[in-house]
Amino acid sequence: MSDSSASSRPLEQQVFDEWPATVRALFDGSSLAQKTGFTASLLSIDANGDVRTSLLSVGELYAPDSRTLCIALWPQARAARAITQTGRAALTFVCDAAFYQVQLRFAPLASVASDDSGLVYLLGSIDTAQAQSVRYARLTGGITFELEGEGRDVLDRWEKQVEHLKRAAAATRR
């Protein structure tokens, strides 16, 4: 006799065009030290058709409102070059026991005079998005990490990066 209870519970999909409250709270730019360890995968396609992945922390992501996401990337990252060329990327991550995949359209984000990090800042808008989960299994995490050694320096850098994202995002709304 087989147990069909697990197979009788279908995949649950939530399609959205605005960040759910739990995701928005994750990307709100606050309490970065408590959110350390969270990782999102930013996937892009380069000019050769190759998939490029950048792993991003909460120190490189900021949602200024319910439909956009600002990101900070190192200029030498292949994903940064690919997104600059195509204007598109997908962000995947685990949050609140669900797997998220968000297709984003990107444009350059205005620089703020006080930033000397050399980072590339981009403003993304949600194109299509979905969250997936199943009732018989709970996602407890995705890719995670622990800061070591110079963790305080990294948190300080994240604070500056997110502040830049906040100021640049506010400047685009004026």
Residues contacting residue 163 through CB under 8 Å, at least 6 positions apart: 29
| Tokens at 159, concatenated | 């604070």
Overall size of the chain counted in residues: 174
Query: What are the chain's domains?
Result: 12-172 (2.30.110.10)
Could you list the pLDDT tens digit for every one of the 174 residues in the chain? 444 444 555 789 999 999 999 999 999 999 999 999 999 999 999 989 999 999 999 999 999 999 999 999 998 998 899 999 999 999 999 999 999 999 999 999 877 666 778 899 999 999 999 999 988 888 888 888 888 888 889 999 999 999 999 998 988 877
In 38-84 the beta strands, taken as DSSP E runs, fall at 40-45, 51-56, 61-62, 68-73
- The model's pTM is 0.85
Q: What are phi and psi of 161, to 5 degrees?
A: -65, -45
